[in-house]
Chain A
Amino acid sequence: MEITLSHYLLLAGAVFTTGMVGFVIRRNAIVMLMCVELMLSSTNIVFAAFSRFHGNADGHVFVLMNFAVAAAEAAIGLAILVEIFRRRRTVNVDDFKTLME
């Protein structure tokens, strides 16, 4: 079987949906952040596939930049989580209700 552009797009769509669904149904903040990473990775697949398809390097450059941004986001997200965990001993987002009305 030949692997075509649509295969890559389907894969990316599946990964993105997995991330989105996981983000909505899981309540553990670390898992939620991991699901966001899945969503970012799926866009990397789309960018790389289209970059090859269009024959220009713009998409590849975007993927490289995206790695850095995803890493920075994870670093800040986890740092904040550690700070919260120290005070609350939980990372379940349903327990964070200090700011609700």
Chain B
Amino acid sequence: MELLNLNIPSWSDLAYWRPEAILCGTFLAALLGDLIGRGRRPAISFVISVFGLITAGAYSVAAVLHGGAAHTIMGDLIIVDGMAAFFRLLFILAGLATVLFSWTAEEIMGRKRENKAEFFYLTVLMTAAMMVMAEARDLLMLFLSMEAVGLVSYVMAGYMRTSLRSTEASLKYVIFGAVSSGIMLYGLSLLYGMTGAMTFDGIRAGLLAGEVNGLSLLITVILILAGMSYKIAAVPFHFWCPDVYEGAPTPVAAIFSVGPKAAGFALMIRFFYTTLAAGADPSASAPLIELINWPLLMAVIAAVTMTYGNLVALRQLNVKRMLAYSSISHVGYLLMGFVLLTDAGLAAILFYLAVYTLMNLGAFFVVVALNNHIKSEELDDYAGIGFRAPWLGTMMVIFLASLTGVPPFAGFAGKFYVFTAVMDRQWFWLAILAALNSVVGLYYYFRVVKAMFLTRPAEGADTTPLKIHWLQYTVLAVLAVPTLVLGFWFGPLKVLADQAIGLLSTGM
């Protein structure tokens, strides 16, 4: 075998990578803009970031409309296919919504903040890194893209440098993030040793060709899962999640709760589907999944994650912490789609992720908007606030109802697809447990609604109507309308998700 098999990338490859290239350029331009404005003109960075995200979004939409086969670029490191296109749109939506909304968020733009513009271009950089996570098809790119997202998030969690809580959240994030990526890296190195390959296809071929010991494969998979569970905050690697969400500024928590999680799922889908399940001959892959008893492993993680998240969310009196635990339980629902590694299950994950991004961002943004005025996220301080800001309250009801999963909201359609994917293969106990968990969720989500609309504010409390910035209303409406519409008109999104997963198995 040749010692160095270098596949020299050509410049024409970049044509398939315009959105990522634009975002990297946007990051540099916004950074430069901040330097030129000497840190006192955040508007420069804000405008550059918004335009960069919109341009990248336009190119991503064009790529989807254009269709076409999957392309591997940069040698074999990266693949641009249907799934990558799906996640590109998702991440750009999340990044753009966060940047626009944060422009009027006190926690980011408040008078005492020194480094306002940083938030905008770090969000852009994180968006680009998350897009690469969804495109990696090589262990090297997998690790580098995960670290890129991780490193940016550590800095963003500590955004409020003078706040004890923010720096503490950041330290917890960086220490446990580093150790979990160390554990994952050890698993990756063992996998490389077993197969002698770095690309996902090569690993799969190596696993099928050689005599693989079931136990060593199981240990390797568990080590790798440890690192990935940390990214998506699945039990038992969830403990950073509530602390970081509570300590970090709320707009940062908002993008953490959807972006890196969705990127982690994208990475897991491509990695485990390609190495363990996919291939021209599906029957050949069954031994690998059964060798390590994958369905049971995933079912237990999913069941524990959703139940734990829900039960702890019940006792939370801080809305941000409650949303953190609720996001853990949603990870549990999402992991259900992984149990069988079937096309239907993975497409259900994609659909749910899109819906989850809309509703969870929305719920966090309402918290940001309220924090601007009442400077608190405690449930008690939300008493009667629905009457001071009726539109904001209504939107919060939409997002929370969708998170609960009651029809006719989008969350219901998302849960429906995940549940049917599991029940198709007779995993009834998991589906029943998930349904029970959704009922538990009803209690703590509606406690917020009750506080906002049914509780009387304390005597002498301020009851003047809140003034919400028009930009915030616009972003919230953009998130709330699809949350409503996708509840009964979910066909197109479902088709998009099915196509993305369908291409994954055939486009290699």
For chain B residues 178-206, which have a beta carbon within 8 Å of chain A? Answer: 178-179, 181-183, 185-186, 188-190, 192-193, 196-198
Q: Is the interface of B mostly helix, strand, loop or mixed?
A: helix
Q: A88-B164, A98-B164 are in contact. Are A83 and B158 (CB under 8 A)?
A: yes
B167 lies within 8 A of A80 (CB): yes
Note all chain A residues with C-beta closer than 8 A to B168.
84, 96, 98-99
A-B contact number at CB 8 A: 128
Asked whether, in the complex, the Cβ of A77 is within 8 Å of the Cβ of B182, the reply is no
**Which of B147, B165, B179 has most A Cβ within 10 Å?**
B179
Question: CB distance B151 to A29 under 8 Å?
Answer: no
Closest B residue to A63 by CB, please name it. B189
Is the Cβ of B158 less than 8 Å from the Cβ of A80? yes
Tell me whether B189 and A46 are in contact (CB under 8 A). yes
Interface size of B in residues (CB-CB distance below 8 Å): 45
A59 and B192 contacting across the interface, CB-CB below 8 Å: yes
- Known: A23-B179, A99-B247. Is A77-B165 also a contact (CB below 8 A)? no
B243 proximal to A (CB < 8 A): yes
Contact status B175-A19, CB under 8 Å: no
Nearest CB in chain B: distance from A94 CB, A: 12
Are A69 and B175 closer than 8 Å at their CB atoms? Answer: no
A77 to B183, CA, bound (A): 18
Which single member of A9, A58, A66, A96 contacts B192 (CB below 8 Å)?
A: A58
B37 to chain A, nearest CB (A): 23
- B147 partner, pick from A36, A39, A73, beta carbons under 8 A: A73
Contact A73 B151 (CB under 8 A): yes
Q: Is B458 an interface residue (CB 8 A)?
A: no
Which chain A residues lie closer than 8 Å to B197 at the CB level?
58
**Residue from A39, A58, A87 within 8 A of B186 (CB atoms):** A39
Which residue of the partner chain, among A36, A58, A100, A101, contacts B175 with CB atoms under 8 Å?
A36
Docked CA distance A100–B168 (Å): 11
**Beyond A50-B193, A61-B140, is A32–B175 a contact (Cβ under 8 Å)?**
yes
Given A56-B5, A69-B147, the answer on whether A84 and B140 have CB atoms closer than 8 Å is: no
Q: List 23 A-B contacts (CB under 8 A).
A: A9-B193, A16-B186, A33-B175, A39-B185, A40-B182, A40-B185, A47-B189, A49-B193, A50-B193, A55-B1, A56-B3, A56-B5, A62-B139, A62-B189, A62-B192, A62-B198, A66-B143, A77-B154, A80-B154, A80-B174, A87-B162, A99-B165, A101-B321
